Amino acid sequence: MKNFNSTKKMNLKTFLVTLAFVGLSMSVMAQTTYVITGSGTQFSATKGSTAVSTNRPIQSVINDIKADASRTACTIQFGNGTNTLNTGENNITFDGGSSGTDWGIITLTGKLTSACNGYNKGPIYLNNGVSLNSKAEITGTAGGDFGVTIYSNTKGTLTVSAGRILSTSATSAGAIYNTSTGNVNITGGTVEATGTNQGSAILTSSKAKVSVSGNAVVTSVNTNSLFMGTICITDGGVSNVCLEITGGTVENTATSATAICNYSTGAVNISGGTVTSNGDVIRIHGANSTIKISGGTVSTKADVGSAIYIANASSGTTLEVSNGTISASGTDWSHGICIGDLAGGNSTIKVNGGIIKSSGKYGTIHIKNTATNLTVTNGTVSATNGTAIFSLGSTAISGGMLLAQKGYAIDNQGTTSVNITGGIGFAHGTAVTDVINGLFTVQPVNTAVLVAWNKAAGTTAYTSSSTKDIYKLPAAATAVWARKGSENGISVANGAVTGFIPVAGISVDGFTGIPEVTNNQLQIYPNPSFGELWVSSKESQVTDIQIFDIYGKMLLHLPSPASQETVIDISHFARGIYFVKTNTSTGTVTQKILKR
């Protein structure tokens, strides 16, 4: 009995200590919320039912809240939860003081609007170590130039996790303008600039890192594409990662516009999300910078534009593609990757995986600089209307697939021979010289396959294992007609190299495969899809898109597509057959597709 009572007392003591610790932890975790109301020049703040500041200028109210919060984390709500707090042309400054610790972590909620411009530090100004998480709707409406909504000059972290940060100024320095070393993390919500002249959503002139993740949207209509973008990084001294995109969307919806513009030497890493524009999507101006694409989608819709463009003064740039999709859906000078003749000296492009595709005429990868080195070890580079690779530089192919429907797999315009030690090359024609134009070598001979198909012969029906209309190199390789799942195409093998080249518009053993939809108004492509599906309507308006599995379960629903051309990410779908139901203003089309 004595031992039992002793144990009981010990357990009770442990329980009380644990309870006290939990209570302390909960009190630490609970943030005080301050609500600011008022208008004009007179504002008030309350903490629950307690008045903290009454009928004072907005900055005085902020200072009163800082004193009351006493360096602990707090939430500040703008407005009463329904109305928008309007501070006129007045600025709100959150200053961490000389120690950088005068504020705890600040969370903003509610709605705020202000016409304060960037010369006066914008509606919200962060200074001296302050860290802030915005979930609020904050709008900067300053007229003229230098419109800024959040001006960050802090070593602390600025996070946007919900709500919207909006600049409506005609000339915006950024809905978010960062001039210090504090990182900017966009994990949710929207950051937007509607100014058409240098109207960046995020502009950073510091060595900080910008991150976009989750379901965040960073958007602009900035038409100053040569010098700015939706995200613009201007500090040439950055040597680490300056931009990281793991999710969300970064877009520029203006015509001939840029989504990301990097003048620094810092790295741009994209491993998820979508980056898109109607011009050059990513422009690199800084020398010795690095771009790594390991996931996500980078796509341009421009007839003249590139998904990734290595611009002037960008010598020494390294671009590495290991996964994800880089696409250009324009029909003229539309490239997946482009290095111009005045740019990119001593630059390197490494394709180690992923999909790079274009419907332009002049090269999915287009290199006009003789000092650029291109290597392909894996992945797919494809062209539907032109050449897969056009290059004046040095090219080495040791793996992957190069597919061209109307041009060359490789158009080598340089003086150095293309060194082919592996991989598969395919184009239309009657000889291997229709696959590769210019100097090339295949060595050793058992590690690569080059295939030409004589489409001009007009044959549309083939028998499996036949070689009709197929030309190949080397002679020891095999290339025969075959079926793979729901696809028709050419099966190739040479030593350890094996692969399958899908060919549209033909049948093998009477099987026609799964065609792309086209009814002169609607196109759904590519089919099969490796992870990205395009729904394009030339005349009718697409009102609804649904995707179903073979059991009739709806897996995806887009009730109001943003435009007549919609890109749908189905990379997370398992391999198999799905049905796309597209409702338009003129009718409904249901199409079977294959996800590879």
537 pLDDT tier (thresholds 50, 70, 90): confident
Whether 381 is in a domain gets the answer no
Looking at the structure, do residues 478 and 590 belong to the same domain, yes or no? no
pLDDT in tens, 165-184: 999 887 667 899 999 989 99
Sheet arrangement for strand 487-494: 478-484, 487-494, 497-502
Looking at the structure, do residues 451 and 590 belong to the same domain, yes or no? no
Cα separation, 304 vs 310, whole angstroms? 15
For residue 498, pLDDT over 80 is answered with yes
Nearest to 438 by CA among 402, 391, 405: 391
368 pLDDT tier (thresholds 50, 70, 90): confident
Average pLDDT estimate for 456-461: 94
539 pLDDT tier (thresholds 50, 70, 90): low
Q: Following CA atoms 170, 173, 174, 179 in sequence, which dihedral angle do they give, to the nearest 10 degrees?
A: -170
Do the strands 532-537 and 565-569 form a parallel or antiparallel pair, or are they unpaired?
Answer: antiparallel
Cα separation, 512 vs 524, whole angstroms? 17
Looking at the structure, do residues 68 and 191 belong to the same domain, yes or no? yes
Give ∠ CA 26-27-29 in degrees, rounded to 5: 60
Report DSSP state, residue 511: B
28 pLDDT tier (thresholds 50, 70, 90): very low
What range defines the domain where residue 497 resides? 445-513
For residue 69, pLDDT over 90 is answered with yes
Looking at the structure, do residues 455 and 576 belong to the same domain, yes or no? no
The answer to whether the CB of 385 falls within 8 A of the CB of 357 is no
Residue 374 Cα distances to 37, 344, 391, 425, angstroms: 60, 12, 9, 16
Strands of 256-372 (E only): list them: 260-262, 267-278, 282-284, 290-300, 305-310, 318-328, 334-339, 348-358, 365-367
Give the per-residue pLDDT at 342. 60
11 pLDDT tier (thresholds 50, 70, 90): low
pLDDT in tens, 546-581: 898 877 788 988 887 756 778 888 888 888 889 898
pTM: 0.82
Handedness of CA 482, 485, 488, 493 (dihedral sign): negative
Looking at the structure, do residues 109 and 188 belong to the same domain, yes or no? yes
The answer to whether the CB of 336 falls within 8 A of the CB of 349 is no
For residue 314, pLDDT over 80 is answered with no
Give the per-residue pLDDT at 8. 44
Whether 356 is in a domain gets the answer no
Among 14-18, 46-50, 216-220, 318-322, where is mean pLDDT lowest? 14-18
21 pLDDT tier (thresholds 50, 70, 90): very low
Give the per-residue pLDDT at 535. 85
Percentage above 70 pLDDT, the chain = 89
Nearest to 52 by CA among 77, 24, 87: 77
Looking at the structure, do residues 172 and 81 belong to the same domain, yes or no? yes
Give the per-residue pLDDT at 123. 94
Q: Which residues pair with 564 in a beta bridge?
A: none
Looking at the structure, do residues 485 and 461 belong to the same domain, yes or no? yes
Give the per-residue pLDDT at 249. 95
Residue of 530 and 124 predicted with greater confidence: 124
The token pair that represents 269 in the structure block: 């890493």
What is the overall mean pLDDT for the chain? 87
Whether 135 is in a domain gets the answer yes
Token pair 């079977």 is at which residue?
592
Looking at the structure, do residues 181 and 216 belong to the same domain, yes or no? yes
Whether 176 is in a domain gets the answer yes
Whether 361 is in a domain gets the answer no
Whether 549 is in a domain gets the answer yes
For residue 245, pLDDT over 60 is answered with yes
9 pLDDT tier (thresholds 50, 70, 90): very low
3-state secondary structure of 583: strand
Whether 308 is in a domain gets the answer no
484 pLDDT tier (thresholds 50, 70, 90): confident
Among 17-21, 234-238, 271-275, 477-481, where is mean pLDDT lowest? 17-21
Handedness of CA 565, 569, 571, 573 (dihedral sign): negative
Looking at the structure, do residues 64 and 200 belong to the same domain, yes or no? yes
Whether 422 is in a domain gets the answer no
Q: Which residues contact 67 (CB under 8 A, 6 or more apart)?
A: none
The answer to whether the CB of 290 falls within 8 A of the CB of 317 is yes
Out of 470, 485, 513, pick the residue that ends a domain: 513
For residue 271, pLDDT over 70 is answered with yes
Cα separation, 545 vs 547, whole angstroms? 7
Check which CATH number belongs to the domain holding 574 and give it: 2.60.40.3080
Looking at the structure, do residues 127 and 163 belong to the same domain, yes or no? yes
Among 141-145, 452-456, 503-507, 526-530, where is mean pLDDT lowest? 141-145
Average pLDDT estimate for 318-322: 95
Looking at the structure, do residues 545 and 567 belong to the same domain, yes or no? yes
The answer to whether the CB of 62 falls within 8 A of the CB of 94 is yes
Residue of 484 and 198 predicted with greater confidence: 484
Highest mean pLDDT among 226-235, 282-291, 465-474: 465-474
Count: domains in the chain = 3
Give ∠ CA 220-268-189 in degrees, rounded to 5: 40
Token pair 């419907």 is at which residue?
359
For residue 17, pLDDT over 50 is answered with no
Out of 492, 513, 534, pick the residue that ends a domain: 513
Q: Which residues pair with 565 in a beta bridge?
A: 536
Residue 406, Cα to own-chain centre: how many angstroms? 29
For residue 78, pLDDT over 80 is answered with yes
The answer to whether the CB of 275 falls within 8 A of the CB of 281 is yes
Out of 240, 261, 296, pick the residue that ends a domain: 240
Cα separation, 107 vs 111, whole angstroms? 13
Token pair 């939809």 is at which residue?
517
Highest mean pLDDT among 114-123, 223-232, 289-298, 367-376: 289-298
Q: Mind spelling out the 3-state secondary structure of 156-180?
A: CCEEECCCEEEECCCCEEEEEEECC
Looking at the structure, do residues 77 and 190 belong to the same domain, yes or no? yes
The DSSP string of 450-497 is EEEE-GGG---EE-TT--TTEEEESTTSEEEEEEETTEEEEEEEETTE
For residue 12, pLDDT over 50 is answered with no
